[in-house]
């Protein structure tokens, strides 16, 4: 049996899960994989800090160089998070011939080209399945199960916090604030939830997914992002009436050399498999030229699911045949695919508060027409009051035309305000 | 760039798709994988038969030995179907040092041990992703993305024909016969649909899935099987009322050394992700000890989806590092896990036609009690007629106890007949 010595950088949530699996499943991994994975070091900042995990303290070190200089260490698994010094540590390890496994989405999204280059130049492996969608093996599927496909589009529910909040709002009619508070209590949301609820976390993951799927570096900054903090229970109810649910979708599409990448609340048909992805679950739906629609669903976060992905990566990293490098241009500055679209097409749901008097709808409709935005349906309910909500759903329309339409509507006599704009994806 | 020479055994539906992908995507596969896949031979019965695929006739041969004796051929992809001579051809190829890719579920389900042994002894690869659930990379996920998990259960919608029929019955209220007729017209069902509708096709796939997941050979004959031909629109409607949909589920569960494997119509909660798997789509939901619930969804049949899986297997087969062999006992006669359960527990939906007169419900309930089958709900609707339908849903109960209950009920005064029994899985 082959023995592989491993160092963990960090032993927090995910690192602790990896430690647990490699120890508890030692026998079965040995039997099935012919492999003994031995953790030799665990790098921590403070070796004396109390830890809830039961493991030999002798593994702990606060000196990164001990790991770096130990030629027995073949694989380093990074669970520190953050950019520095995680990035530098990983590159130094690779220069010493060690393969790297990481759960660090931010460092991959922002510094993948550097890391990929270090891996390639030193002939080692760089694995990061746990960085996207926790336990869901979506990156391995893209690398090793879709080679005969051009990927046309990706639709991901890849942030558990926002999906939990939207699910609670949808199922129980909670307000955004109430659902967010519950998410905080349950540990699904950070005390400062901005990174999740405003969609930034999803942009890191979409950057990784889209780069891998489209074979072109998709920088995080090219991704349009809009969070869920503006979603109101009213719109969730109206969505239901229209046969939709609202999800924070991370969307990537490629058409020739043009890529569109965006993260925003999206109405999708309630019969689509993505619509039944609820709570803290994640899912990624991919359309490939040969395979058609393929969806992977599972736990997108959490100690053991993420550790499950990390352990598979560690096992992959023991075999050089599994080392894969990106083929796209390895710089941010000159991505192979230069054309990032900001004038994509989708459907739009627009809610406008108007005075209920003759002529308002006509003037509104005229503005849509002037901007070449075709209306699919208009619903006006509510009694004869001074202020009524108008819900408009458009056919496929261009983002910039819709934005201009909104500006023009705001200036109309009889329009009180534009309350919401939510994009609609009918053709997933 | 590495060049790999390949022979296809058969160029029908899936083989034709493989030919198309390997030719049309030659450049991108070369670029991304550093690999030129060259099809050198296509084995057919009749080289002169007209074919709808545009490819050089010079590739055709009707002589298997030409392929077998050509040492340039590294990979043989089998798309002939059936047991003989597919099995013999594959084994002969492996003895000659050629790796094998196959879409043949029947031969894998029935002869996997022999094929696995031939692969292992000759140090070649045996790949069969396209044999289960078409384009869905479920086998690769089990092999390479769940090594840190004990698989607890599998729930699969792995037969497109039955899922199409049940979806049409559910969505449109069609009878089984009408939906089957449409399925035949659209090519989703064979002229003789027995193999699909009676669940046999699903047993082959479940045998493969369960063997791989549970690391123990699960013979097809150990799988309980019941098809969908007895499902009536009435039960589909009643299921809806109860918050369920009816799917033909292939179920595998492992508990210690005990395995239960069964294929039958099943009521599942309509909010579960499996419930929104409609039409000819397939999905496999797996519960792993670390990753929790993981579901893969996609096209379970069809030329290009299945060819997508075959092409990935062909690419995997070019690298010996990807060769994997089962670790379980390689015989049918002495499977490692001997305990196959036929007295599993699940919920049960039972519809009984009774005379609407006092005392009938009481005597019925007493029979359930005598057999230790606990009733969760009873619904009796319908006007005061001579014959009324009673729908009973049980709590978790043992299969054999329920069967005995049914027999005892049939003998009761006031019971006209037991119309249906459908198993209920609430805890997926």
Which pLDDT tens digit goes with each residue over B121-147? 999 999 999 999 999 999 999 999 999
Residue B390 and residue B180: Cα distance in Å, rounded? 28
What is the model's pLDDT at position A331? 47
Q: Name residue A352's beta-bridge partners.
A: A390, A418
Q: Name residue B5's beta-bridge partners.
A: B38, B73
Say if B55 is an interface residue toward chain A (CB within 8 Å).
no
Residue to substitute from A139, A291, A321, interface B, most B β-carbons within 10 A: A291
Say if B1 is an interface residue toward chain A (CB within 8 Å).
no
- Whether residue A249 contacts residue A156, with contact meaning beta carbons closer than 8 Å, is answered with yes
CB contacts of A28 in chain B (<8 Å) are: 150
What is the model's pLDDT at position A328? 65
* Residue A35: strand, helix, or coil: strand
Higher pLDDT, B53 or A200: A200
Write out the H or E segment, with its range, that includes residue A37. Answer: strand A35-43
Structure tokens at B103: 């879409």
Residue B385 and residue B392: Cα distance in Å, rounded? 19
- Whether residue A134 contacts residue A14, with contact meaning beta carbons closer than 8 Å, is answered with no
Angle, to 10 degrees, between the axis of helix B399-410 and the axis of helix B360-370? 150
Say if B4 is an interface residue toward chain A (CB within 8 Å).
no
E strands, A44-161, are 60-61, 73-78, 99-102, 126-127, 151-157
Q: Is the pLDDT of residue B337 over 80?
A: no
Span B176-202, average pLDDT:
96
Structure tokens at B312: 């990935």
What is the model's pLDDT at position A384? 61
- Whether residue A218 contacts residue A335, with contact meaning beta carbons closer than 8 Å, is answered with yes
Minimum distance, in Å, between the CA of residue A198 and any CA atom of chain B: 26
DSSP string across B336-397: S--EE-SS-EEEEEEEEEEE-STTHHHHHHHHHHHTTPPEEEEEE-S-S-SEEEEEEEESSE
Structure tokens at A318: 């023991």
Which pLDDT tens digit goes with each residue over B211-231? 999 988 899 999 999 999 999
Say if B23 is an interface residue toward chain A (CB within 8 Å).
no
CA dihedral of B107, B111, B112, B113, whole degrees rounded to 10: -170
Structure tokens at A39: 């953790």
Cis peptide before B183 (omega within 30 of 0): no
Specify the fold of B138-300. Answer: Dihydrodipicolinate Reductase; domain 2 (3.30.360)
E strands, A64-198, are 73-78, 99-102, 126-127, 151-157
Residue A385 and residue A421: Cα distance in Å, rounded? 23
Give me the residue label for tokens 């019925």. Answer: B364
Could you tell me if residue B232 is left (phi over 0), alpha (psi between -120 and 50 degrees) or otherwise beta?
beta
- Whether residue B239 contacts residue B246, with contact meaning beta carbons closer than 8 Å, is answered with yes
Structure tokens at A423: 């994009």
* Intervals of CATH 3.30.70.260 along chain B: 345-425
CB contacts of A273 in chain B (<8 Å) are: 273, 276-277, 283, 297
Residue B98 and residue A270: Cα distance in Å, rounded? 48
Span B352-360, average pLDDT:
89
Residue to substitute from B148, B301, B311, interface A, most A β-carbons within 10 A: B148
> Interface pTM (ipTM) of the complex?
0.94
Minimum distance, in Å, between the CA of residue B79 and any CA atom of chain A: 17
Is residue B336 very low, low, confident or very high in pLDDT (cuts 50, 70, 90)?
A: low
On average, the pLDDT of chain B sits at 93
On average, the pLDDT of chain A sits at 93
CA dihedral of B177, B179, B184, B189, whole degrees rounded to 10: -100
Q: Is the pLDDT of residue B326 over 90?
A: no
A69: exposed, middle or buried (Cβ count in 10 Å: 0-12, 13-18, 19+): exposed
Minimum distance, in Å, between the CA of residue B348 and any CA atom of chain A: 25
B375: exposed, middle or buried (Cβ count in 10 Å: 0-12, 13-18, 19+): middle
Minimum distance, in Å, between the CA of residue B371 and any CA atom of chain A: 37
What is the model's pLDDT at position B334? 47
Is residue A234 very low, low, confident or very high in pLDDT (cuts 50, 70, 90)?
A: very high
Specify the fold of A138-301. Answer: Dihydrodipicolinate Reductase; domain 2 (3.30.360)
Q: Name residue B248's beta-bridge partners.
A: B265
Minimum distance, in Å, between the CA of residue B291 and any CA atom of chain A: 4
* β pairing state of A151-157 and A281-288: antiparallel
Q: Name residue A398's beta-bridge partners.
A: A345
Angle, to 10 degrees, between the axis of helix A303-317 and the axis of helix A13-24? 60
* Intervals of CATH 3.40.50.720 along chain A: 2-131
A387: exposed, middle or buried (Cβ count in 10 Å: 0-12, 13-18, 19+): exposed
Give me Rg for the CA atoms of chain B: 24
- Whether residue B320 contacts residue B125, with contact meaning beta carbons closer than 8 Å, is answered with yes
Which pLDDT tens digit goes with each residue over B391-421? 999 999 999 999 999 999 999 999 999 999 9
Across the interface, do A298 and B294 touch by the CB < 8 Å criterion?
Answer: yes
Q: Is the pLDDT of residue A399 over 80?
A: yes
A302-to-A16, A24, A200, B265 alpha-carbon distances in Å:
11, 18, 19, 34
Q: Is the pLDDT of residue A330 over 50?
A: no
Active site residue B205: yes
Cis peptide before A85 (omega within 30 of 0): yes
Eight-state DSSP code of residue B57: G
Q: Name residue A424's beta-bridge partners.
A: A267, A347
A76-to-A8, A90, A95 alpha-carbon distances in Å:
6, 8, 12
Residue A377 and residue A266: Cα distance in Å, rounded? 17
B406-to-A203, A419, B350, B377, B423 alpha-carbon distances in Å:
56, 59, 9, 17, 13
Write out the H or E segment, with its range, that includes residue B122. Answer: helix B105-122
Residue B66 and residue A380: Cα distance in Å, rounded? 73
Eight-state DSSP code of residue A391: E
Greatest CA separation for chain B: 82
Say if B299 is an interface residue toward chain A (CB within 8 Å).
yes
Structure tokens at B12: 């029908």
Q: Is the pLDDT of residue B331 over 50?
A: no
Across the interface, do B296 and A291 touch by the CB < 8 Å criterion?
Answer: no
CB contacts of A139 in chain B (<8 Å) are: none
Q: What are the two backbone dihedrals, phi and then psi, of residue B240, each rounded to the nearest 5 degrees?
A: -55, -45
In CATH, which of 3.40.50.720, 3.40.50.170, 3.30.870.10, 3.40.190.290 is domain B2-131?
3.40.50.720
* Intervals of CATH 3.30.360.10 along chain B: 138-300
CB contacts of A320 in chain B (<8 Å) are: 321
pTM of the complete model: 0.95
| % of chain A residues with pLDDT over 90 | 84
> How many other CB atoms are found less than 10 A from the CB of residue B264?
19
Specify the fold of A345-425. Answer: Alpha-Beta Plaits (3.30.70)
CB contacts of A133 in chain B (<8 Å) are: none
What is the model's pLDDT at position A387? 86
Which pLDDT tens digit goes with each residue over A252-303? 999 888 899 999 999 999 999 999 999 989 999 999 999 999 999 999 999 9
Structure tokens at A227: 């969070």
Q: Is the pLDDT of residue B333 over 60?
A: no
Residue B240 and residue B263: Cα distance in Å, rounded? 21
Across the interface, do B137 and A149 touch by the CB < 8 Å criterion?
Answer: no
What is the model's pLDDT at position A289? 96
Which pLDDT tens digit goes with each residue over A333-387? 445 556 888 899 999 999 999 998 888 999 999 999 999 999 999 998 766 667 8
Q: Is the pLDDT of residue A398 over 80?
A: yes
Residues 6+ apart with CB under 8 A from A152: A253, A254, A255, A287, A288, A289
Residue B365 and residue B232: Cα distance in Å, rounded? 24
What is the model's pLDDT at position A381? 77
- Name the nearest CA neighbour of B153 among B425, B343, B393, B398: B425
> How many other CB atoms are found less than 10 A from the CB of residue B263?
28
């Amino acid at each position: 049996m082959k023995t592989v010595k491993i160092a963990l950088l960090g032993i927090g949530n995910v690192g602790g899960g990896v430690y647990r699996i490699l120890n508890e499943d030692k026998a079965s991994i040995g039997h099935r994989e012919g492999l003994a994975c031995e953790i030799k070091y665990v790098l921590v900042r403070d070796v004396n800090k109390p830890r809830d995990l039961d493991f030999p303290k002798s593994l702990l070190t606060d000196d990164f160089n001990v790991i770096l200089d130990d030629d027995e260490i073949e694989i380093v698994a990074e669970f520190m998070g953050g950019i520095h010094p995680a990035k530098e540590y990983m590159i130094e390890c690779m220069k010493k011939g060690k393969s790297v496994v990481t759960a660090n989405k931010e460092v991959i999204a922002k510094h993948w080209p550097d890391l990929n280059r270090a891996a390639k130049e030193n002939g080692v492996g760089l694995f990061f399945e746990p960085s996207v969608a926790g336990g869901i093996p979506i990156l391995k599927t893209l690398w090793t199960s879709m080679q005969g496909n051009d990927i046309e589009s990706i639709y991901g529910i890849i942030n558990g916090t926002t999906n939990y909040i939207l699910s609670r709002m949808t199922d129980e009619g909670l307000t955004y604030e109430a659902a967010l508070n519950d998410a905080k209590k349950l540990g699904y949301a950070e005390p400062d939830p901005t990174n999740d609820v405003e969609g930034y976390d999803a942009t890191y993951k979409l950057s990784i997914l889209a780069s891998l799927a489209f074979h072109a570096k998709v920088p995080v900054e090219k991704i349009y992002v809009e969070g869920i903090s503006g979603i109101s229970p009213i719109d969730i109810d109206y969505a239901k009436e229209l046969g939709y649910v609202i999800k924070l979708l991370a969307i990537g599409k490629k058409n020739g050399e043009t890529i569109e990448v965006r993260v925003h609340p999206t109405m999708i048909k309630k019969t689509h498999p993505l619509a039944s992805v609820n709570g803290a679950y994640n899912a990624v739906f991919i359309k490939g030229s040969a395979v058609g629609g393929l969806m992977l669903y599972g736990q997108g976060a959490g100690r053991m699911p993420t550790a499950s992905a990390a352990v598979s990566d560690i096992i992959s990293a023991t075999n050089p045949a599994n080392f894969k490098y990106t083929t796209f241009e390895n710089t941010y500055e000159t991505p192979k695919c230069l054309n990032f679209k900001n004038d994509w097409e989708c459907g739009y749901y627009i809610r406008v508060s108007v005075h209920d008097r003759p002529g308002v709808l006509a003037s509104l409709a005229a503005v849509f027409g002037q901007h070449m935005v075709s209306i699919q349906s208009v619903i006006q309910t509510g009694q004869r009051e001074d202020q009524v909500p108008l819900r408009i759903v458009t056919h496929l329309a261009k983002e910039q035309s819709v934005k201009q339409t909104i500006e023009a509507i705001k200036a109309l006599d009889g329009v009180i305000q534009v309350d919401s704009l939510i994009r609609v994806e009918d053709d997933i």
